[in-house]
Amino acid sequence: MFIELTDHLRCPADHDESFLVLLPDRIEERSVLSGQLGCPVCGRTFTLEDGVLDVGAAPGWSRQDQQNLNPEAITALVGLHGPGGYLVLVGAAASGWREVAELNPGVALVAINPDADVTDAPGISVLRGGRIPLKSRSMRGVVLSRPYADDRHWVEEAARVVLPGLRIVGEGGDPPKSTIDLMATAGGVWVGTAVREK
Ligand SMILES: [Zn+2]
């Protein structure tokens, strides 16, 4: 995991959003390979092993074969222009991360619950859990693969972590209007922004 990403992590518990404190065991270059992360609010601790942080309760969905979100489509729909920040790939869309990285130079990638073929590497950080363990309004874009995009909880999580005005892309049925302002939809893929809280 990129050491800089630890600044954007949050405790997955339902208390007010809190950062996590990193107690690293092993760091190489700018990657944390092993260590513990602790929440100062509730005292939970999470183990980071092989560069992967697992905060627990990741869904046990099996791999979905129909995936239209290839790296070119992801890049076009998320519409990042210029380097910096983070793009989050939830589920199977992370399998094409090397091409996504080439198409979006200078943008760091975060995989949430990717397939087993995606492991920690320079250019991508791998997180696992039952929600997106990242702070609200901190990411430049979020991509939801099937079946995440069909799950209201995950759509709400994507809307929570994306920076205001930036995009969420999903493969699945249309998202709830109360959460996503749709910009476009075609071929089972949608793109939109988070509905601003009143
Ligand atoms: Zn906590």
Per-residue pLDDT of the chain (198 residues), as tens digits, is 999 999 999 999 999 999 999 999 999 999 999 999 999 999 999 999 999 999 999 998 877 666 789 999 999 999 999 999 999 999 999 999 999 999 999 999 999 999 999 999 999 999 999 999 999 999 999 999 999 999 999 999 999 999 999 999 999 999 999 999 999 999 999 999 999 865
pLDDT of residue 196: 81
| pLDDT reported for residue 65 | 67
Spacing, Cα 168 to ligand 1 middle (Å): 26
**How many A from CA of 76 to the centre of ligand 1?**
36
Q: What is the pLDDT of residue 67?
A: 74
Residue 24 to residue 175: CA distance in whole angstroms: 38
Residue 174 CA to ligand 1 center (angstroms) comes to 32
Ligand 1 centre from 10 Cα, in Å?
8
pTM reported for the whole predicted model: 0.97
Would the CA dihedral through 102, 22, 161, 60 be positive or negative? positive
- Distance (angstroms) between ligand 1 centre and the Cα of 129 equals 14
Strand partners, 190: 170, 185
- Range 17-56 burial, b when 16+ CB lie within 10 A, else e: ebbbebeeeeeeeebbbebebebeeeebebebeebbbbbe
If you measure from the C-alpha of residue 172 to the centroid of ligand 1, how many angstroms do you get, rounded to a whole number? 31
- Ligand 1 centroid from CA 18, angstroms: 6
pLDDT score for 197: 66
Residue 190 parent element (H or E): strand 189-194
- Do residues 36 and 9 touch, judged by C-beta distance below 8 A? no
Q: Tell me the CA–centroid distance for residue 94 and ligand 1, in Å.
A: 27
For 167, the token pair is: 């995009």
Task: Report CA(14)–ligand 1 centroid distance (Å).
Answer: 8
Q: Tell me, what DSSP letter sits at residue 4?
A: G
> How far away, in angstroms, is 36 Cα from ligand 1 center?
14
- As a whole number of angstroms, the distance between CA 93 and CA 171 comes to 10
Rounded Cα distance between 99 and 32, Å, is 23
The helix (H) or strand (E) run that includes residue 161 is: helix 152-161
* Helix then strand then coil, % of the chain, to nearest 5: 20, 35, 45
